Chains A and B, each alone.
Chain A
Amino acid sequence: MLIAILLGFIFSLFLVITGKFFKGKFSILAAGVPLALFIYFTQFISRISNGEVITQFHSWIPAFGVNLGFTLDGLSLLFSLMITGIGFLVFVYTSAYLKGHKYLDRFYGYLSMFMAAMLGLVLSDNLISLFVFWELTSITSFFLIGFNNTSRESRKSALIALAITGIGGLSLLVGALFLGSITGTYSIAEMLTMNPEIASNPYYILIVLLIFGAAFTKSAQFPFHFWLPGAMKAPTPVSTYLHSATMVKAGIYLLMRLTPVLGDHEFWNTTLIIVGAVTMVYSAIHTLFRTDLKGVLAYSTISALGILVFLIGQGTVEALTAAAVFVIVHALYKATLFLVTGIIDHQTGTRDTTVLRGLRKVLLPVAIAGFLAALSSAGIPPTIGFIGKELTYESTFHFGNMAILLMGLIVITKILLLYAGFVAGIKPFTGVLPERFENTKMPSFLMWLPPVLLALGCIVFGIFPGLIEGSLVKPMVSSMGLDGKEIHLKLFHGFNIILLLSVITIAAGTVLYFMIEPTKKRENWVAKFEKISPQTVITNSWTNFIKFSNGWTNLFQNGYLRNYVSTIMIFLIALTGYSLFSKANFAVDFNSFSPITVYEAATSVVMLIAIGYTVFTRSRLAAVASMGIIGYAICILFVIYSAPDLAMTQFSIDTLTVILFVLVLYKLPKYLKLSDYKMRIRDGILSLAFGTIITLLILEVLAEPKSSEVSDYYAANAYILAHGKNVVNVILVDFRGSDTMIEISVLAIAAIGVFALLKLRLKKSDQR
C-alpha cells in the first residue's frame, strides 16, 4: 500500500526528467498512473465488503510514536476509489484541456503529487502522518490554484487558500498532539475504544474545537468558506478534482473518521449541525446571485459540504448513511458539472450564464452529461441524487428535537441547489443558439467522454443502488463505528411525507428556475454586502496583523547590528539575572576547583591582553585580529581541558571568521567614526554585567549536583550501537543525526541567503 501511495510522488519526480515526453502527444499516458491505482483499489472491494479491514505498518519515527500505519476500511476505500477514479478521468480530460500548454508536465506533476498526498491522507491510521499528508494537499493545492502564475488574481487566491487551510492544518496538529497525549497513542484504530475517556477529559471541548478548525477550513465551512470561490481561478480540471470531488472533502473525511473517537457528545453534534446548517443555507442563497458558471458551482459545492457536516452532526445511523451516499452523489454530479463547464469555457471562451444558450445543437454529448448531472443534483428519480435526498430528508425528519426547523432549512437548501444544478447543467444548452456560438466545435472525445461516464454513473447507481449498497455504503457506515447491517438503499420508499417533501422540492425548484434568470444586476446588488462578508472581515484583520507585525519588527530589528546585540544582552541579563538571584544560593566550593597551572595562567594573560587591545585599538583590522587571538586562546583552553574535537572545530571556525571579517571590513569606509564617551561607558557597563551574569551562572551550574545519565549512556553505547569510539562524532552522525541533518540544512539556507542578498544587489547596481 505504501508503494501505491508513493506512486504519485515517484511519478512526479520521474516527470522532472521525462517532462518533454508527457508534454507532447503522449500526455494521455500520464492517466495510466491513476488508472493503475484505481484498478489496484477495486481489488479490495469484495474483501472490504465482507467486513475485513486491511492494515499495513511501517515504522517511521517510533521514538515519538509516529508511524506510517495504513488502514483500508470502508471509509478509506470509498475515498481512495473517488480519488483515483475521478483522478483518472481528470487526467484524461486534462490531456485535451491543456493540450500543448507550456507547463503541462508541471501540471501533471502537481496533480499526481496531490493525488498521492490525498491517498496518504485517507489511508493514514496515524494522526501525525495524516497531518503531514493533510499539509501536502494544501501545498499542492496552492501550486494548482496559482497555476496561471502570471495572473495576479490567481496568485492572491492561491495565497488566501494556503493561509486558510494552513491555519487549519496547524490546528489539526495541535489537536492531534492533545489526543495523543490523552490516549497515549497516535493510532486512530487504538483510539476507537477510548471514546468515553476522551469525552470526559477536561480538554475535550478544546480538542474538538481544534479538529473542527481543521475540518471547517479545509471543507470551506462558514465563515472560512471564501477561499473556495477564489480557488476557482485554477484551471477547471483542478476545480473538478481538488475543489469539488476530493480535497475539500478531506475535512468531511476527518469528521467521519473521528466520529467514533470524538462523536456522540452534545457539543460535537450541536456545533456541527449549526455550522453545517448556516453554511448550507448561506451559500445556497449565494448561488442565486452568481452569473459565472464556476461561481455558481463553487457556492453549491460549499452548500453541499455544509449538508455533509449537518448530517455528520446528527450522528445517527440514518444520517451517516445519508452522508455516505451523498458523498458519492455529490462527487459524481458535481465533477460532471465542473467538467461540462470546463468544456463550455474551452470551446466558447465564456462561462457567463447570461449569454450561454442553446449549446445542445453543437455540443450534444456534453449537453446530455450536463442534463443527467443536473437531474441527479436536483434529486429527480431515477438518479442516485434522489436516493441521497430521500435519505437526507428521512434522517433529518427522524432527528428528535427541532426537526421541523432543520427540515425547513434542508428543504430550502435543496430547492436552491436544484436551481444551481439547473443553471449549470441545463441552462447553457436550452433555448436558441446565439449567432456567436454557431461555430462552436465539438471537443476531442478525451474531453467529453469523462463527464458522460460520470453522468451515466449518476443514473446507473440510481437504478441499481445495490451496486454500492453492500460494497461501499455499508462498510463505510460500519467504519464510522455504527452498525450498518440494517441499511437498505432503494429508489422508491412508498408514499409518505418524505416523498411529498421531495415533490415539493422539485416543483418549487423548477418554478424558481423558470422565474429567476441569473443577471449581472443582481450580482452587483449582492456585491454591496461585500463589506460585511467574512472574507472582508478576515482579510482586513489579516492586513492589520501584517501592519502590526511590521511595526513590531521594525522596532526591534532596525538594521543596526549593535542594537541587536544590546537588545539580546539586556534581555538575557534581565531574565537570567532575575531567576539567578531569586533561586540560586551561590554556594560555590572553591576548594573543589583544580589548582591553576602555568599553561592556563599564561593563556589567560594572553587573552586579557588581547581583550584590552580589542577594546582600545583604533583600527578595525587590529580589533579583528586580536579577536582571533582571543578565539585561539579559548581553543588552547579546550585542548588543556581535553576537548580536542571542540578545539579543532573552534580553530578552523576562528580562522574562517577572521577571514570573513577582513573581507567585510575591506568594504567599509576607511576612517571609522568612534562612538562618544557616554555610549562607550554604557556599552562597557552592559558587557561587564553580561560577563558577570554568565560567570555567576556557570559557577552556579557547577555547584548543582549533575546528572550524567545521558552522557554515560552515550559513552557506554557509542561502540556497541554505533561502532564508533569517538563519542562526540557518534552523537553527531548517529545518536542525534537528525539534528545534524537539520543543522546542515540551516547552513545551506544561510549560504543561499548570503548569496542571494549580495548577488541581487550586484545586479541592481549593474542596471544602474
Chain B
Amino acid sequence: MDALLHQILAGLATGGIYASVALALVMIYQATHLVNFAQGEMAMFSTYIAWTLINAGMPYWGAFFLTVAFSFVFGVVIERVVIRPVENSPVLAVVVVFIALLFILNSIIGWIYTYTIKPFPSPFPEQPFFGNKLMSSHEMGAIGVTLVVLLLLYAFFRFTPLGLAMRAAAQNPESSRLVGIRVGWMLALGWGLAAAIGSVAGMMVAPIVFLDPNMMGGVLLYAFAAALVGGIDSPGGAVFGGFLVGVLENVLGAFVIGNELKLAVALVLIIGVLTVRPSGFFGKVHVTRV
C-alpha cells in the first residue's frame, strides 16, 4: 500500500512537470493552432538565463521574475521575427521552423554552457514538509506553482479585456479584426505568455532533473501526451492531463508493464486519444459547417 502511495505521489510530482510544459503548449496552440515543438527548448533557454542571473549574485525571486519578463519578450520577438513570415505557409513549413528553433536553441546553449549538468536552486526548503518522506518540498512547491499559474491564466482570460480580446482573436480572427482587435499582436502576446509560462516550468523542473541542454527532451513528449489527453485547447485539461500521465506512467510502470515500457504509455495515450477522442477529456469538439 505504501509502495502504491509512493508511486502515486512520485507520479504527481513528475506530472506537475508535464502539466506546466503542457500549459505552455496549450497557450501557443490557442494562439496559432499549432503544436510548438520548440516549447521545451525555449523553456530550457529561459532557465539558463535564470541560472546565469542567480550565479551573478541576484536573489532567487529577482532572477525568477526578471527571467519571466525576459521570456515574455523573447516569445514575442520569436513570433514577430521567425513565425510571422511563415504564418500563411503550409503547416509543414511552420513545423520545420519549430524544429529548427529546437535545434538552434539546443546547440547554442550547449556551445555556451557545455552539456554537463548543473544544479539549479529551489526556492523551497531542503527539508521535507511536515517530515513527509514521499515527496520533496520542491516537488510539492512546484505543483503549487503550476496550480497558481493555471489560476492566474484562468483569471486573465475570464476577467480581463485583454484576455477576452486574445480569446476572440484566436477563435474568430475575421470578426475580431472587424471590432478593432489587432489580431497579429494578440498572437504575439500569446507566444509571449507561452514563453513566460514555459520559463516558470523550466525553473520548476530544473531543480528536479538538473539543468542541462537536453533536460526538456523527454519531458516534452510526456507534455504532448498530457496536453492531448486533457484537450489541446483547454488549460485546465492540460494540467489534469499532466497529473494523469505522471501517475499512470508510474503506477503502470511499477506494477503492471515494467519500467521498460513506461515511455510507451505516453505514446499509447497520444495515439489512443487521437483515434478515440481527438479533442481530449476537456477540449472543445470542433464542428465545421461544410
**A is bound by B:** no
B residues apposed to A, CB below 8 Å:
none
A residues apposed to B, CB below 8 Å:
none
